[in-house]
Amino acid sequence: MVKFPYIWEIPCSSLQGSSIAEEDKLKHTLKLNGIYKRIWELAQPFLHTRKNDIHTAISTAFAFRLLEMEGGDEDIVIPAILLHDVGWKKVPENMQLKAFGPHATEPKWNRVHEVEGGKIAGEILASIDYPKDKTLEIQEIIEGHDSRKEAVSHNDMLVKDADKLWRYSQAAVGINGNRFDLTLDQSVERLRRKLDLWLLSESAKKIAHQEIQERMNELAEGNL
């Protein structure tokens, strides 16, 4: 689980009313300040689908950690990761599970979430007078964050890695295990097998190995 000062403030609505223990809910909260908090708030209406609020919070925490390890432009990477999945709101919920994951049959909807996400991000950032040149770079990252496998810039690489690192979190192992009908052993094995395919930077691979070890420990202790 990611552990550093950014993560303890904004509860994710996916967790409210759930059976997850109170102390575990704390692990899935994200603390943001200033302009990033404002962007998070404006993104919320678009993140109440596909558990994208919890996914975004955890990926944003990973993005801060990658920025510390790899360097990069925080004012590009953090807005991009906060807004990267807002486009899912434009994909009908009955199509979402067909659009991504190991059993995807309707991948064209995956492109829709990227393209619509870029547009919505542009509108949100314009509403807070975010610098236009930075907004254009953020939109370019969002429009290819999933379908484009190679990174076009260092900032793009960090957003791609932060997005994929979420899969290694404790929350994602539970959520994706249910979605894709995987046992816990199968989930952890899949994370290990895909690591070099999914992740680009050495820092992201290092974090993923640490997360896998934590999942293995939780599995051994019966806590996963």
Give CA separation, 32 vs 37, 60, 82, 182, 197, in Å.
5, 10, 11, 33, 30
Residue 5 DSSP one-character state: G
Distance, CA of 128 to CA of 215 (rounded, Å) = 39
Residues 117-176 that bind Fe ion (CB under 5 A): 146, 163
Please report how close the Cβ of residue 28 comes to Fe ion at its closest, in angstroms: 15
- Shortest distance (Å) from residue 146 CB to Fe ion: 5
Q: Which is nearer to Fe ion, 42 or 91 (CB)?
A: 91
- Which CB atom, from 143 or from 146, has the smaller least distance to Fe ion? 146
Q: Is 106 exposed, middle or buried (0-12, 13-18, 19+ CB in 10 A)?
A: middle
Q: The tokens of 31 are what? A: 């603390």
Residue choice 54, 58, 85, 172 for contact with Fe ion (CB under 5 A)? 85
Of the ranges 10-18, 77-85, 127-135, 152-160, which one interacts with Fe ion (CB under 5 A)? 77-85
Please, what is the minimum distance in Å from the beta carbon of residue 113 to Fe ion?
Answer: 6
**Closer Cβ to Fe ion, 180 or 216, answer by number:** 180
Token code pair at residue 116 = 């619509």
Q: Interface residues with Fe ion (CB under 5 A)?
A: 85, 146, 163
